[in-house]
Amino acid sequence: MFVQFLRENKYAAIILTFIRVYLGYQWLTGGWHKITGGFDASGYLQGAVANAGGENPTVQAWWGVFLEKVALPGADVFTFLVMWGELLVGIALILGLFTNFAALMGIVMNFAFLFSGTVSTNAQMVLLTVFLLVAGYNAARIGLDRYALPFLKQKIFHQDTNKTVKETVEV
């Protein structure tokens, strides 16, 4: 019943819009500060790897191994992905454009930060993002998805249907 409310109710769409814009603002400002502030993920990654060991580790060992073997050697790539990923997720959520994909990418980043031992607002953002993901299309009913998704659906699927019909008629 609650899921149906999130997915179909116009009042839920209004509440979800506020949640979406709030999350978008958080991502946008976080990404912008990283882009303009000379962010480098290598220090953060080294700290997370260090927290995977010791007497009371705050990072699980399997995640520490991933960070040490994959993320640290590719710290430049992860720096770029985090900075621009945060900014683009923020823009998409604020505009309500490709909302489900943006929310999914945001929650993936939040979980990566949580796995790395950073609590901050990540748990709150995960919880709010779950509402957006469960709501699906209704989370962006008041946004650009209302126009972009039907347009893309018509352009992508309608053309494929026409090709199939033409090919069938010619055969």
Give tens-digit pLDDT for 67-81. 999 999 999 999 999
pLDDT at 3: 94
Quick check: 35 and 84 in contact, CB under 8 A?
yes
C-alpha radius of gyration, the chain, whole number = 20
Q: Pick the residue with more confidence: 167 or 97?
A: 97
Q: Which amino acid is at 147?
A: Y
Q: What is the Cα–Cα distance from 149 to 99, expressed in whole angstroms?
A: 10
Residue 162 predicted with pLDDT over 60 = no
Instruction: Break the chain into its structural domains and give their ranges.
Output: 2-146
Residue 19 predicted with pLDDT over 50 = yes
Question: In Å, what is the CA distance from 93 to each residue of 4, 13, 52, 166, 168?
Answer: 22, 14, 33, 39, 41
Residue 164 predicted with pLDDT over 90 = no
Q: What is the Cα–Cα distance from 88 to 170, expressed in whole angstroms?
A: 45
Share of the chain above pLDDT 70, in %: 92
The pTM of the full predicted model, rounded to 2 decimals, is 0.86
Quick check: 79 and 125 in contact, CB under 8 A?
no
Mean local confidence (pLDDT), 94-112: 97
